[in-house]
Amino acid sequence: MNTSVASTSLEEIRAGLGWRKQLDKLFALLGLLVLFACLGILLMLFLDLVRDGASRFGWDFVSSFPSRKAENAGILSAAVGTALIMLVTAVVALPLGVAAAIYLEEYAPKNWFTAIIEINVTNLAGVPSIIYGLLALGLFVYQFKMGQSVQTAGLTLALLILPIVIVATREALRAVPKAIREAAYGLGATRWEVTKDHVLPYSTGGILTGLILGLSRAIGETAPIITIGALAFIAFLPPSPISGEFPFLSTEWLRSEFTAMPIQMFNWISRPDQAFQANAAAAGAILLGMTLFMNAIAIYIRYQFRKKINW
């Protein structure tokens, strides 16, 4: 009798096991399905974007100013604006972010003060981007009188990507083995010499990757630069940074009004006229292409540096 009880429960277990294994397969199928459904839908949307904009691709589109006629309109001022803003963003975010990361990783003592800085960096990464726009509008535009200009936009986006650069740099610094630092200290190097001559060169790849990923985020940010007052209709280019007279470099472009790629796209989307939607799609496809290109570069750099370094 005892054996029969044992055998039925064993059979039950076996039957249950079969069922549970079926469930396993079912879930694996579901997971695969959901994954490819999500990726598939996104891919379809991207292809749709490229197809809608296909009619507008060409030199005319890149070399024309915005226009009231959809077929004459182009992205010249937007592309130049985006390039200049990215320049300012990179020039501000790189040194600030790297310096902050070096401080936190190599110098900072473990105390409440350092904890406050770290919590701030983490929190800033979670602040909605439009809040940065309000900060820039209230502080840079009206308190510091920097105007609704390229420099304000660049500075705003630099603050926005600062956490990304800091986190990436810290990871890169952390990946450098302690032995390298200790060897340099052993030869009498000061902390800064250790950092600048040994740790930083090894982490260049990680830092560049972080910067490019940050810029690829900044290039598509629309909300903060709408908030500081980017204009959608700009039919002129900012003054050239290189001038014919001494000292050959001009900073006039920093104070120029501007538009940018995502702003231009937003403006075209929100027009009721259907003809502008093709323009929006084309601008979107180019913007998407830029973002993906920058990410590809970042991945490539990371790969190259990883290959070169053997601890």
CB-wise, 70 or 135, nearer to other proteins?
135
In whole angstroms, give the CA distance from residue 159 to residue 92: 9
In whole angstroms, give the CA distance from residue 181 to residue 198: 7
Alpha helices in 221-274 (DSSP H): 223-227, 261-269
Answer for which of 227, 256, 259, 279 binds other proteins (CB under 8 A) is 227
Q: Residues touching other proteins: how many (CB under 8 A)?
A: 86
The CB-of-136 to other proteins minimum distance in angstroms stands at 9
Answer for which of 95, 174, 233, 309 binds other proteins (CB under 8 A) is 95
Answer for which of 82, 151, 152, 222 binds other proteins (CB under 8 A) is 222
CB-wise, 192 or 252, nearer to other proteins?
192
The CB-of-99 to other proteins minimum distance in angstroms stands at 3
CB-wise, 142 or 236, nearer to other proteins?
142
**Binding track, positions 52-91, relative to other proteins; x by CB under 8 A:** x---------------------------------------
In whole angstroms, give the CA distance from residue 184 to residue 154: 38
In whole angstroms, give the CA distance from residue 278 to residue 269: 9
In whole angstroms, give the CA distance from residue 110 to residue 178: 18
Per-residue CA distances from 133 to 66, 217, 222 (Å): 24, 15, 10
Query: Which residues have a Cβ under 8 Å from the Cβ of 195 and sit 6 or more positions away?
Result: 102, 106
- Give residues 252-291 in contact with other proteins (rule: CB under 8 A): 262, 265-266, 269-270, 277, 280-281, 284, 287-288, 291
Answer for which of 120, 204, 243, 304 binds other proteins (CB under 8 A) is 120
Which range binds other proteins by CB under 8 A, 30-38, 76-84, 172-180, 238-246?
30-38
**Site for other proteins contains 220 (CB under 8 A):** yes
Alpha helices in the chain (DSSP H): 2-53, 59-63, 76-102, 112-126, 129-135, 150-174, 178-186, 191-194, 200-220, 223-227, 261-269, 275-308
**Site for other proteins contains 130 (CB under 8 A):** yes
The CB-of-37 to other proteins minimum distance in angstroms stands at 8
User: In terms of Cα–Cα distance, which of 201, 254, 285, 237 is closest to 66?
Assistant: 237
**Binding track, positions 36-55, relative to other proteins; x by CB under 8 A:** --xx-xx--x--xx--x---
Which range binds other proteins by CB under 8 A, 35-43, 81-89, 234-242, 244-252?
35-43
In whole angstroms, what separates CA 270 from the centre of its chain? Answer: 25
